[in-house]
Amino acid sequence: MNLMFYIHIALTFTFISYSTSIMINFNNHENLFELSNENLTVQFNLSNGQIISFNYKSQLITITNETNYIFINNFLIDSKGGVGETPSESARNNGRRALSNDKLTSNGNLTNQFSSTRKINTVDQAEQVRELTKQMRSSDFRERLNGIEEFQKLCELETDTAIQSLVQIFDGFNDCLADMNSKVVLKALNTMHQVIPILRDALSSVINSALPLVAQNIASKNREISQLASDIIDTAIDYIDCGVLIQPLCTLSQNSNLRIRPEIVLKLANVVPRVCQRKPKQVEIHLLPTYWKLLSLLRGQNSTAIASSASGSNSLNSSIHVLTTALYIELGSLLIEKASSSSLVTPQNLQLLRELCTNINTE
């Protein structure tokens, strides 16, 4: 492999990087290397770096012994590996004639070979997913750690493959989030924190099962695990459509461990400004019914005591007050109207809500 091979690759990368993602294929058996995107595919001979052919917008141009130069998006490439001085005009013309006069075939052997290579790669990717999922379910914690590491690499290097296989992967990954070994849990949480900005809304298909497992780690006595679990939910709110997050957060706000519920309610309050105007149906179906139930937990409390507790420790009362404030800021008097028409809100709770909203107005 000579210097021209790397020059060819650099020039080709320069061209196709202006478009979408680049696909790279090796075929060691045929001694071929391929770079491609949706418009251009260039094939090289691995042994000498020469360009064998390129396929531009579904037209396969084979490089023959008579073809000295080809032009790709104004870049001059010597197909024989001898790039040097700017060629003569006749050489340029030969190159242009080669592009226009060479036979264009769509069913050549090379194209079929690389089509097979892509199929093999797809099979390899499926096997990779099965293997890392198997690792995450291993009885050996070191294997589980390796599986989690492979999942993160897959997300970073082959994001599309990871997205296509998320449901399958999370069947194993969720077990790691609830693992008995703190090292495995910490590794899984770190990975989750890293991949959310990469996968974003693609996580919608698995977030309902993963979020409760993340949340329960907030109750961990390991401060690093507890803080990381809390940070993951904040990151999810930043990167995942909150219309997807609202249901699991509402469920957790009602049913989670009492040790973590105050913090989950605060997370729910953070979601309120992002969904009240954009997702009114979600607010009606999930958010308000959850709030009515939380409001009932304040039974026997007066608004002054609740308001003063909001500035104190992280109690459930103070979290509910923060949620009340967030809802009232977004909905205004509509919040009280909705409460008045709900069978879940008792007259006592309705009066408490009115008092809380009055206090918010005076703050």
Which stretch of 100-114, 250-264, 300-314 has the lowest confidence by average pLDDT?
100-114
Q: Provide, rounded to the nearest whole percent, the portion of the chain with pLDDT above 90.
A: 57
Confidence label for 362 from pLDDT (cuts 50, 70 and 90): confident
Give 116-172 pLDDT, tens digit per residue. 334 436 667 888 899 999 999 999 999 999 999 999 999 999 999 999 999 999 999
Please state at what angle helix 223-239 crosses helix 261-275, rounded to 10 degrees: 10
Cα dist from 167 to 74, 211, 302, whole Å: 45, 14, 46
Confidence of residue 29 (pLDDT cuts 50, 70, 90): low
> pLDDT confidence of 361, banded at 50, 70, 90?
confident
pLDDT of 15 higher than 70? no
Residue spans per domain, the chain: 3-106, 253-363
With a cut of 90, say whether residue 230 has pLDDT above it: yes
Tell me what pLDDT residue 218 has.
98
Split at pLDDT 50, 70, 90, the class of 350 is: very high
**Token pair of 133, please?**
């999922």
Q: Which residue has the higher pLDDT, 40 or 144?
A: 144
CB 289 within 8 A of CB 246: no
Is pLDDT of 224 > 50?
Answer: yes
Estimate to the nearest angstrom the gap between the alpha carbon of 6 and the chain centroid: 33
